[in-house]
Amino acid sequence: DIQMTQSPSAMSASVGDRVTITCRASQGINNYLDWFQQKPGKVPKRLIYSASTLQSGVPSRFSGSGSGTEFTLTISSLQPEDFATYYCLQHNNYPPTFGQGTKVEIK
C-alpha cells in the first residue's frame, strides 16, 4: 500500500496566518492527490482534487500544489471557520489511502 505522511500532525495558528500542510507519498502518485477538511463532528468535505483543482464553492484562499510524491495544501489567510483537521488522499493505486491528518488549532 502507498503510505501518505502529513506534516505537521498538529499546529497552532492565528487568524490571518498563511498555513502550509505537506503530504508525502511513499511512491509516485501521478497527481491523484486530494485534500479534505473535517470539522469536529462533521462530515469530511473535499477541498482540492487532482493536486491543484479547487472544488466548486471552496474559497480561493485554499490552494494545492505539488507533483510526484510531495504535495502541499496552502491556506493563504486563515479564517475562523478554517480551524479543522485536514487529510490528504491518494487514489493512484488501490487501496486509496489517507494521510493521518493535520489538526489546525487556534493559537
Contact 21, 86 (CB under 8 A): yes
Kindly identify the residues of this chain, within the stretch 36-55, that bind another protein according to CB under 8 A.
Answer: 36, 43-46, 49-50, 55
Separation between Cα atoms, residue 21 and residue 104, nearest integer Å = 10
Residue 11, classed as helix, strand or coil, is: strand
Instruction: Confirm or reject binding of residue 87 to another protein (CB under 8 A).
Output: yes
Minimum CB separation from another protein for residue 36, in Å?
A: 8
Q: Which residues lie near another protein (CB under 8 A)?
A: 32, 34, 36, 43-46, 49-50, 55, 87, 89, 91-92, 94-101
